[in-house]
Chains A and B, each alone.
Chain A
């Protein structure tokens, strides 16, 4: 569970979304990079399925206003 001081909203995250947020708190990354880092933290081999699930979580976190894309 997290509280966003900016919006005042409270969010319930599943464990993968929480991992995504943790990784992105450390440093910005592209989605495959996020999947790699999560794989490394959890000792998993990144596969297309994990990358797809990470992409889906990132999109939800963006929609909730917790993550924003970096503009080049």
Chain B
């Protein structure tokens, strides 16, 4: 059953006990009693299957109101706190930030634990069976580019994580909601008026944040990995002419490793996996200022 098929009342009850959401490579047990979060989950994760892990979940994420002395804080200040198994890596935040907090929490779980993969901080998209990897430093426009391409010609594999399998070099999809910040929110609304976005949350440490519901087809194909063909380092520069410049593989390797969550800790396995990946890819630096230009240039990349 898909999460979106659960009526709101039932979803709310199930979330209070903990609901297993099959996000693709990981089953996430989400627990919350915050009603607004249930509604937003329905919007963002409506296409994902629930109860698919046979009662086993990879990550347990609970977002709830923190209890203070005598339970007072719970009602006095409307806050939310994330509990990840027994860890509490984040400070309590205003309750309006529950959605970004849930997303950051799931990211945190993967980044700190999923060492069966070489993990790169990158958006990944697929077309004709081959993957485009867009590693991103903050502000490079990775997520905006990822949202725009996945809402047109490309399949979304992930907005934040390239999950590279050491055994065969394929990238496993993790097509969760795409996180947009500040001006990008309206850019994507104009780009794809039918796209469904969560309610923008102002004043987070990243500014105003909203999430895009992943395309249904991408979620339906979450079990289909893809082989990387292109590694493109994007830079958004206002008024810049679009320009793709080839990047030597060795330099691309080091930049990719610098964007990895776990390259250092994987040792030789990380080196072997990444070097094999780079050997099979063409790498580029990409400057752009318009999503239309990006769409046409990236769509015309030749196979390596």
Contacts and interface: CB of A to CB of B under 8 A. Distances in A.
Interface in A14-43: none
A8 B275 contact: no
Contacts of A10: 253-254, 257, 271
Contacts of B264: 8
B58 to A, nearest CB: 27
Interface residues of B, number: 10
Is the interface on chain A under 10, 10 to 19, 20 to 34, or 35 or more residues?
under 10
A56 to B, nearest CB: 20
A35 to B, nearest CB: 25
B267 A1 contact: no
Interface string B240-252: 0000000000100
A33 B271 CA distance: 32
A12 B264 CA distance: 16
B268 interface: yes
B250 A1 contact: yes
Contact of B268 (A1, A3, A12): A3
A5 B253 contact: no
Contacts of B254: 10, 12
Interface string A28-72: 000000000000000000000000000000000000000000000
A1 to B, nearest CB: 6
Nearest to A9: B264
A5 B250 contact: no
Contacts of A8: 264, 267
A70 to B, nearest CB: 27
A5 B270 CA distance: 11
Contact of A12 (B250, B267, B271, B272): B250
Contacts of B257: 10
Contacts of A3: 268, 271-272
B268 A5 contact: yes
Contacts of B267: 5, 8
A1 B255 CA distance: 13
A3 to B, nearest CB: 4
Nearest to A3: B271
Interface in B267-304: 267-268, 271-272, 275
Nearest to A8: B267
Nearest to B265: A8
A16 to B, nearest CB: 15
A18 B155 CA distance: 41
Nearest to B266: A8
A21 B271 CA distance: 19
Nearest to A2: B271
Given A5-B268, A8-B267, A12-B250, 5 more contacts: A1-B275, A3-B268, A3-B271, A8-B264, A10-B271
Which 3 pairs from chain A and chain B are nearest by CB?
A: A3-B271, A12-B250, A8-B267
16 contacts: A1-B250, A1-B253, A1-B275, A3-B268, A3-B271, A3-B272, A5-B267, A5-B268, A8-B264, A8-B267, A10-B253, A10-B254, A10-B257, A10-B271, A12-B250, A12-B254
